Structure 1
Amino acid sequence: MTTATGGVRAHARIVARDDGRGGTSLPVLDGDGPLALRRTRGNGAEARVMLVGAMSGPLGGDHFTVEADAESGARLKVGSAAATIALPGQGKSEARYDVRLSVADGGELHWLPEQLISARGSDLHVTTHVDVGATGRLVLREEQVLGRVGEEPGRLGSRIRVRVAGRVVLDQELACGPGAPGGWDGPAGLGGCRAVGQLVVVRPEFGENPVAARVLGENAAVLPLAGPAVLVSAVAADALRLRGLLDEALDALA
C-alpha cells in the first residue's frame, strides 16, 4: 500500500491453481492496506477467499485494484465479508476501484462480492475487466446501492467488460447520481429504484445451447450475449430485493 497526496493506493492479487490432487491451491494470496484477503474453508475442489475491508473506503482520491486469476483446472470462489461503502474524502478528486479477472481454459471463477454502496458526497468510478478462455466458466455478480437509508446517492460510474476466447461479449457502462447524464433515474433508466445489479454467467455449453431471452418478474431480464454467455440485469427498491432477483436468475440458469 502507498499513501500519496490525493489518496491511498492499494492492490490485492489472487492466483488459483490446480494442485494435481483434485483440489485448488492458492500460490498467490496477497493484499495490502484496506484490501485484506483470507482463505476460508472450501467445498471439494473449490478454493474460497474472502475480501475483508481493513479500512474504510474507498474515499475520494483512493485507487484500489483487485486481481484474481483462475488457472486451468482451478476452481475459485471469491466473496467479501461486508458491503463496500464509497465515501467522500477530504479531497475533491474521484476514487477508483478496478477489478481484473481472468479464467483460463478449464478454469472456473465465481466472483460474488457484497454490494457497493454509494454514499452521499462520494465520487467513485468502478471498472471490471474479465478475460475468460474458450472452455472457462464464470459467475460474476455486481450489485450497486445508491445511497444509504434515507440518503441521496453520491456519483457512481461503472464499466464492465467481458471477453471470451479473446472476443468482447459485453461492454457496458452505467452512470448514476449527481452530475450523471440526465435521465439516469427516469423511466428509461432506474425508474426510481435505488439498487441495480448485473449477473454474468459464462459456460461453454451456452455456445451450442444459447439461453433464451426472457423477463423475470417486473424488474429483471435475462439476455443472451454474443458468445457462450448470458447477462442478467435487474433493478430493485433495495439491496435485499435485488439479491433475491439475482439469486432467482442464477437458480434458473442452473
Structure 2
Amino acid sequence: MRATARIRATRAGDTTVLPLLAGDGPFDLRRARPHGHQARVCVVGAMSAPLGGDRLRIEATAEPGAHLHITTAAATIALRGPTTAHATYDVHLNVAEHASLHWLPQPLISAARSNLRQSCTIDLAPTARLLLREQIVLGRADEPPGRLTTRLTVNRDGRPLLDQQTSYGPGAPGWDGPAIAAGHRAIGQILIIDPVLDRHPPHARLLGDDPATGQAVLTPLAGPAILITALAPDTLHLDHLMEAAYTLQ
C-alpha cells in the first residue's frame, strides 16, 4: 500500500486555518478543537499499518505566522504483514518564519517480525519554533521487537542542526547494549527548537537515580535547541521521566 497525508496550516488574522487536510489509506485526518491561535489535527488510523511493504508518508507545513499541533489517536503498531519486505513511514515537516509546529504522536510499537524504516525530516526557518515528541516501544507484551530503523534530520535556515539514526531489533549491532537501549523496552525523545534559547541556553542534566527504572538526559544542541532522551523499562516510567525533564528545561 502507498498512502500520503497532507496538512497545511495558514494564518488568517489572529487564528490559524487548515486550507489543506487530505489523507488516504490508513490516514484519516480530523480537525480537533483549536487552542488559542493554534490549529489542531488528529491522525486517526483507518486500517492496520504499517505492514511489510507499505510506503506511508505524512507532509505537514506551517506557513508564516501559523501555529499547528498534530497528534495521533492511538499508538502506531508496525506489523509483519503478508511480505517480509520492509515498510517505510516518512514524515516531512516544514515550519516557516514566525510559525510553530507541535508534532506529538502516540508511541510507535515495533511488533515481533516486523521490519520498518521510519524517518522524520524537518526544515525550519530561523524564527520558527518546534516541539517534537517521539516514543518507541520495542515489542508488545512478552514478545521480542521487530527490526526498526529510525532517522531524525533537522535543518534550520538551510543548515543541519541534528541528524541521527538508530537501529533496533534482529540484525542491528549492539542495539540492546549500554550504548543504545541498555536492556530497556521504551525509548523516547523530546526536541525543542526556539530562538529564545539563544538568549537563555540550558545546562545539561541527568535525571533518574536508578538506571534499572530508567534515566533521561537533557542536552543542549549547537543552536537554539534542546534534546531530551530517555530510556525506561515501560511507557509509564518513560512518561514520568520525559515529563520531569521537560518541566526542567
Q: TM-score, normalised by structure 2?
A: 0.96
Code of the residue aligned with 2:11 in structure 1: it is D
1:172 and 1:244 map into 2 onto residues whose CA distance is: 24
1:207 Cα deviation after fit: 1.6
1:240 and 1:144 map into 2 onto residues whose CA distance is: 13
Code of the residue aligned with 2:31 in structure 1: it is R
**Unaligned ranges ≥5, structure 1:** 1-7
2:244 and 2:21 map into 1 onto residues whose CA distance is: 31
Give the 5 Å matches for 1:103-252. Answer: 103-181=95-173, 183-218=174-209, 219-252=215-248
1:92 Cα deviation after fit: 1.4
2:99 and 2:244 map into 1 onto residues whose CA distance is: 25
Identity of matched residues, %: 52
What secondary structure, in the 3-state scheme, does the structure 2 residue paired with 1:41 have? Answer: strand
1:248 and 1:74 map into 2 onto residues whose CA distance is: 29
Q: Which residue of 1 aligns with 2:8?
A: 15
2:248 and 2:9 map into 1 onto residues whose CA distance is: 28
1:224 Cα deviation after fit: 0.8
1:189-224 Cα shifts (integer Å, max 9, x gaps): 211100111111000011222221111224110111
1:41-98 Cα shifts (integer Å, max 9, x gaps): 0111111100000000100000100011111111111010000000001111100000
What secondary structure, in the 3-state scheme, does the structure 1 residue paired with 2:36 have? Answer: coil
1:250 Cα deviation after fit: 2.0
2:199 and 2:67 map into 1 onto residues whose CA distance is: 23
1:222 and 1:194 map into 2 onto residues whose CA distance is: 20
State the superposition RMSD in angstroms: 0.9
**Unaligned ranges ≥5, structure 2:** 210-214
1:252 Cα deviation after fit: 1.9
1:81 and 1:69 map into 2 onto residues whose CA distance is: 20
2:130 and 2:245 map into 1 onto residues whose CA distance is: 15
Code of the residue aligned with 1:224 in structure 2: it is P
What secondary structure, in the 3-state scheme, does the structure 1 residue paired with 2:98 have? Answer: coil
Q: How many residues align?
A: 244
1:134 and 1:229 map into 2 onto residues whose CA distance is: 12
1:240 Cα deviation after fit: 2.0
1:160 and 1:75 map into 2 onto residues whose CA distance is: 22
Q: Which residue of 2 aligns with 1:3?
A: none
